[in-house]
Structure 1
Amino acid sequence: MQSPFIVELDQQNFMQILETSRETPLLIHFWAPMSRESSEIMPHLQQLAQNYNGAFTLALLNCEQEQGIAAQFGVQALPTIALFVNGQPVDGLGGPQPIHAVEEMLNRHLPSQDVLALNKALELIANGAHDQALPLLKALPADMQNQGEVKLALAACYIEAQDFTLAAEQLEHIPLQYQDAEYKSLIAKLALHQQSADSPEIQSLEAAFSLDSENETLALELALSYHNVNRDEEALELIWRFIAKNLNALDGSMKKAFMDILSALGQGNPIAGKYRRQLYSILY
């Protein structure tokens, strides 16, 4: 596996690679082709190095070819895995090990993969790549998603995606210590959206509909106005009231609008999923 995080050790580059551990932790895998266990764990170590995305460097040392280095470190069992920091060994494992044992060792000295994923997401947000950051944030465990820093990051991503309902949910319970300038900026963006989402035109349609709540044409116009300002749940609920009773309301125009809104929200949207299931319940 070619990767900037994986290197092959030999007599010529050994000291140079070891010196890099002063900047980035170095995990050395002492192995040999004759040792089945040391060969079998290698792809797992390589994948781990990829997952950690540069938090450590994986160095592979073939003990058959580099017996002098192996002897210098007193390697007696294969595989032997040693972690170096600042040029010195700080931890290690000798003999066959499951990959989770290596992960546990790394977790004692390095940030966890969840922390690395969060740091990567925050970096992406800082660079304006909110769409790439959002999947990383959503994949974090629940306890991390409840942290103020993560809630702010999620809210920023949802606002960029114009999913204002989910953004508001994240900002609703932000601990006081995180209610800083970034928090105030996100609140201001949300308030600006809410003002535009309750325009005089929408208020006028709502008033007219309240007086004629069975008017299909008025209902569809109001629902499409909601959709235009990302009030999609209200739009879907309004149309659903009519198509649940008559799937071909307004000669099918309501069903088409309903499907168009679902399509615009996409497959992964929980609101779309709810109403898609409701539609399937009367279609099939």
Structure 2
Amino acid sequence: MSTLQAPQGELIKDSDTANFMADVIEASRTVPVIVDFWAPWCGPCKQLTPAIEKVVMAANGRVRLVKINVDENQQLAGQLRVQSIPAVFAFFNGQPVDGFTGALPESQVKQFIDRVSGMGGPSPIEEMVTAGTEALEAGDFQNAEAIFTEVLAADPENLVAFAGVIQGRIKSGDLDAARQMFASLDDDTRSKNEFAGIRAAFQLADQAGDAGDVAELRAKVDADPADSQARFDLALALSGAGRNEDAAAELLHIVRHDRAWNDDGARKQLVTLFDAWGPTHPLTVRTRKSLSSLLFS
């Protein structure tokens, strides 16, 4: 099992009055703890507890569950004023912070646990995804892929991690492998926002292949600076060569001097570049600011 996903025994445990301080109060100082008061004879408990366990396991360490049998721990139940069961309390930083009574549907249980788990900050998987993204942006593609692969071992449905692996292949120049991985996904998944940058990157790669030679296009633009098509093609070729800042500069030139060209084609191409680079990439931020200045000046 991956180190990113705690075994069930660490996330879900039975406890009692004697261990309540350690299992709930002290443990909640580092991660939110859900306490489920139940009894073997309680019908609604038999519906609720499996739903809570399922959602807690899916939270991948952002929250823990402690189960207390009220028949065996009546004094503890009395101290917490448990009047009917199932009764669920959430503890964080040693204090009760939320709760409910009765058997809720799984969707509402998930809403409750999502709310509570958010108090404890990012989960281990979320932290790993952040680390992988930072490695990817820093150009450390091998380390980024290793991190994202570990995330997928623990959470196979993590689309951000899967997209990160594909992005690493694209940025390292292994476009064929990236296309194969992307093609392995179903149509619905490929259309999701997590893959917007990948779709844009493939579009840019295809455009660059048809654009022509950078030196020839530069000469053509120098000979006729008003030739927006040549400048646009130059921008595509520069992008394909990895010269993203130069590509953006050529497209901004078209927006500045020939905004209406090709049905606002230069601005639209800049948006594709932004999608490929990512919304927080420094070049996206700078270029978007320059574009805004041109559009609203």
Question: Under a length normalisation based on structure 1, what TM-score does the superposition of the two structures give?
Answer: 0.50
Q: Which residue of 1 aligns with 2:146?
A: 128
Letter of the 1:16 counterpart:
A
Q: Residues 218-254 of structure 1, C-alpha deviation per residue, up to 9 Å, x if partnerless?
A: xxxxxxxxxxxxxxxxxxxxxxxxxxxxxxxxxxxxx
CA 1:161–1:21: 2 relative to 1, 3 Å:
farther
User: Unaligned regions of 5+ residues in structure 1, if any?
Assistant: 182-284
Shift of 1:61: 0.3
Q: Which residue of 1 aligns with 2:9?
A: 3
User: Does the 8 A contact of 2:148 with 2:164 survive in 1?
Assistant: no
Letter of the 2:51 counterpart:
H
Q: Residues 106-137 of structure 1, C-alpha deviation per residue, up to 9 Å, x if partnerless?
A: 2223249xx85554544576581444546889
Letter of the 2:111 counterpart:
E
> What is the 5 A alignment of 1:118-197?
118-122=126-130, 126=144, 128-133=146-151, 139=157, 154-156=166-168, 162=174, 163-165=177-179, 169=199, 171=201, 172=273, 173-174=275-276, 177-180=279-282
Percent identity over the alignment? 23
Instruction: After superposing the two structures, state which structure 1 stretch, 153-162 or 6-15, moved more.
Output: 153-162
User: What is the total number of aligned residue pairs between the two structures?
Assistant: 173
CA distance in 1, matches of 2:79, 2:100: 17
1:4 is paired with a residue whose SS is helix
CA 1:160–1:131: 2 relative to 1, 3 Å:
farther
2:146 is paired with a residue whose SS is coil
CA distance in 2, matches of 1:100, 1:161: 43
CA distance in 1, matches of 2:173, 2:72: 54
Q: Which residue of 2 aligns with 1:60?
A: 67
CA 1:151–1:96: 2 relative to 1, 3 Å:
closer
Letter of the 1:156 counterpart:
G
Which of 2, 25, 30 is the matching residue for 2:37? 30
User: Does the 8 A contact of 2:32 with 2:91 survive in 1?
Assistant: yes
Which of 76, 87, 90 is the matching residue for 2:94? 87
Q: Which residue of 2 aligns with 1:12?
A: 18
Q: Which residue of 2 aligns with 1:208?
A: none
Q: Which residue of 1 aligns with 2:107?
A: 100
Which structure has more relative contact order (CA 8 Å, sep 6+)? It is: 2
Letter of the 1:15 counterpart:
M
User: Does the 8 A contact of 2:56 with 2:113 survive in 1?
Assistant: no
CA 1:4–1:170: 2 relative to 1, 3 Å:
farther
Shift of 1:41: 2.0
CA distance in 2, matches of 1:177, 1:127: 21
User: Does the 8 A contact of 1:152 with 1:170 survive in 2?
Assistant: no
CA 1:46–1:120: 2 relative to 1, 3 Å:
farther
User: Does the 8 A contact of 1:32 with 1:38 survive in 2?
Assistant: yes
1:71 is paired with a residue whose SS is helix
CA 1:140–1:127: 2 relative to 1, 3 Å:
closer
Q: Which residue of 1 aligns with 2:254?
A: none
User: Does the 8 A contact of 2:51 with 2:106 survive in 1?
Assistant: yes
